[in-house]
Structure 1
Amino acid sequence: MYSVILHGRRLVQLQKWRHLRFVVQNGSAFSNSYSSASATDLSSRDGRKVKNFTVSYLVDSLGLATKLAESISKKVSFVNKGNPDLVLSLFRSYGFTNSQISSIITDYPRLLLIDAEKSLDIKLQFLESRGASSPELTQIVSTVPKILGMKEGKSLGRYYDFVKEIIEADKSSKYETLCQPLPEANRQGNKIRNVSVLRDLGVPQKLLFSLLISDAQPVCGKENFEESLKKVVEMGFDPTTSKFVQALRAVYRFTDKTIEERVNVYKGFGFAVEDVWAMFKKCPYFLNSSEKKIGQTIETLKKCGLLEDEVISVLKKYPQCIGTSEQKILNSIEIFLGLGFSRDEFITMVKRFPQCLILSAETVKKKIEFVVKKMNWPLKDVVSNPTVLGYNLEKRTVPRCNVIEALMSKRLLGDTGSELPPMSSVLVCTDELFLKRYVRNHGDKELVLELMTIYTRGRVSS
């Protein structure tokens, strides 16, 4: 195992909080009863009302961006702020900062639905009783909020201690190996040992702690874990990326015989063995797809107008398409046709940028509206450069276009002074090349400073 590693390389004022709990539960501003529900369990109208309430609460109480709050509302929704207020007040009473609380709720929003007094407070008191100082407690819970979703007791305490040990070791300038022999060969012991091994390989804390707190099978065993880890390392997966963990899950799940059978299925559809493993490197989860699902995806893409060899090429470029539903793929055609693209143009874009098949209607419409309607690039430019649909609008496209608009307004582009450059010249190049072409190439230092301010302001404000 070590050869594999080398290869990879509160005292706080609780009384004040309890008083607030009494006020919240008995005051006229809130209902005495707390209720929560998933929007999918309600009627469409009531569901929208609950979702809007949740979004407003997250924005007003935690200062979250609306888009982030909307994403969280898909995971948890509530109809009043009684319990959520108690949860936030409880965290503050233990010394958590507003930034830490926002991070906790963003990572594990379900905490807003857990009984603050009967569950969360008891767990936090339990951790304090083990000697956790306020700074340690707030840092560790902020780093691994899902630890509060565990039952109070030995497992909670042990996992907390282990997370603390890793955080402290990683702060040290002297690297420490935490893979120590454990007396009991049980599920919990195996998880701690195996997560230690992954940590020594360089797997980031975020991925480590997710594995530790979950019931992820790859880190629960011993021999199978070691064998699977060896295979993934030898395949060349980078331990610092999420694909490393995805590959470990996939290899752990399947026997060599099953993997061979899966590869043969793809061979039957026209893929070479080396193609299958190249696809696995791009998307380890694609081996989970059944023969029926693979065949269905291929037939759906043919319905879109792709020839068989073109389908193979698209899936080799973007194997994630195999997990996409037939309806979503067919809907994507309608989205692009509705925006003025022809079916042939859609096929061309898919062949160049298969991700077109899984982009949401909202994303496509928003980006097309900006580059075509606002910037006046023709649709054919999007057909030629479909990757622009995959770029972050706020962080990449808008800041660059702000610079171009500024130059056009000053009549500093092209022969006419206000000539719109090709889309590829503005959006497809690297940041460094963009700056060299449109910002730093001017002799006027004041102009360069102005353009750089326009560019960076757009990126920061987004």
Structure 2
Amino acid sequence: ETLSKVPKILGLKEDKAISVYYDFVKEIIEANKSFSRKKLCHSSLPQGSRQENKLRNVLVLRELGVPQRLLFPLLISDSLVCGEGKFEESLKKVVEMGFDTTSSKFIEALRIVQRVSKKAIEEKVQVYKRLGFAVDDVWAMFRKWPVSLSLSEKNMSNSMETFLELGFSRHEFTMMVKRFPQCIGYSAESLKKKTEFLVKQMNWPLKAVASNPAVLGLSMEKRIVPRSNVIKALMSKGLLGRNGEL
């Protein structure tokens, strides 16, 4: 059962690490089976070591209610190897932003806040401001998609240029990113391919794409093209009007 929860533990290079993490995962699984949420203490590892930091930080997250499915993968990543002071500071910021501790967004936000320096975050906020976003917009976007604060200035600027080249206005660009922040992280090729298909093949007005930016996050092969084929088939049989009405 223990290995089924975190099979990648077996991929760790150090035998000692495998043993420590295996015992740790097993202890958490057993503790969670009881109705009373038992408070655990991490193993007596050298203070300040990577393993000690990681286990301590994982236990702190467990006490906050982070579920096993999100906790255990952290043991085989370098997300939580920072010391206690930096970890607690980062954790406090993310919790105060109102993230749900049972969601993957919470872990992603914690990773970003730990990894990106205060100075770098301030610089990224300034970049967003130059692109037309208010400071409140930036943090609202971060809560929706934490990765938004890890993008480079070049990626952000190139994304805006791509949207403008496709015919969207600057206002539509900012509106789309505020509604669906992930779209600022898509490649120019992906944005062009999907937008052109929606406009030319599915006859969507550009404003319709701007009003529904989440469509740009759908898979061309699995969602967009199949839906287009269904609509075309229904229209060919007279079951849908030209604008898609039944």
Q: Same fold (TM over 0.5)?
A: yes
Q: CA deviation at 1:182?
A: 3.8
Q: CA deviation at 1:183?
A: 4.6
Code of the residue aligned with 1:367 in structure 2: it is R
Counterpart CA distance in 2 for 1:312 and 1:353 is 13
Unaligned runs of 5+ in 1: 1-138, 383-419, 421-462
For 2:121, the equivalent position in structure 1 comes to 259
CA RMSD of aligned residues (A): 2.0
Structure with more contact order per residue of length (Cα contacts < 8 Å, sep ≥ 6): 2
From 328, 332, 352, the equivalent of 2:211 is 352
Q: CA deviation at 1:291?
A: 1.5
For 1:96, the equivalent position in structure 2 comes to none
Counterpart CA distance in 1 for 2:123 and 2:181 is 18
1:369 lines up with 2:229 in the alignment: yes
Counterpart CA distance in 1 for 2:18 and 2:145 is 33
For 1:215, the equivalent position in structure 2 comes to 78
From 266, 285, 301, the equivalent of 2:147 is 285
1:142 lines up with 2:4 in the alignment: yes
Instruction: Assess if the C-alpha contact under 8 Å between 2:66 and 2:102 holds in 1.
Output: yes
**1:11-410 counterparts in 2 under 5 A?**
139-151=1-13, 153-180=15-42, 182-185=44-47, 186-216=49-79, 218-337=80-199, 339-341=201-203, 345-362=204-221, 363-374=223-234, 376-378=239-241, 380-381=243-244
Counterpart CA distance in 1 for 2:121 and 2:171 is 24
Q: TM-score, structure 2 length as denominator?
A: 0.90
Q: CA deviation at 1:298?
A: 0.8
Q: CA deviation at 1:157?
A: 0.6
Instruction: Assess if the C-alpha contact under 8 Å between 2:112 and 2:149 holds in 1.
Output: yes
Instruction: Assess if the C-alpha contact under 8 Å between 1:247 and 1:285 holds in 2.
Output: yes
Structure 1 SS opposite 2:243: helix
Counterpart CA distance in 2 for 1:239 and 1:245 is 8
Structure 2 SS opposite 1:336: helix
Structure 2 SS opposite 1:193: helix
* C-alpha distance 266-183 of structure 1, shift in aligned 2 (>3 A): same
* Rg larger in structure: 1
* C-alpha distance 271-154 of structure 1, shift in aligned 2 (>3 A): same
Q: Deviations over 1:238-260 (max 9, x none)?
A: 11000001100111112222212
Q: Deviations over 1:209-260 (max 9, x none)?
A: 11111222x3443221111001111111111000001100111112222212
Q: Deviations over 1:144-178 (max 9, x none)?
A: 11112123521101100000011111111111111
Code of the residue aligned with 1:314 in structure 2: it is M
Counterpart CA distance in 2 for 1:144 and 1:294 is 35
Instruction: Assess if the C-alpha contact under 8 Å between 1:329 and 1:358 holds in 2.
Output: no
Q: CA deviation at 1:371?
A: 4.4
Unaligned runs of 5+ in 2: none
Q: TM-score, structure 1 length as denominator?
A: 0.50
Counterpart CA distance in 2 for 1:231 and 1:249 is 12
- Moved beyond 4 Å, runs of 4+: none
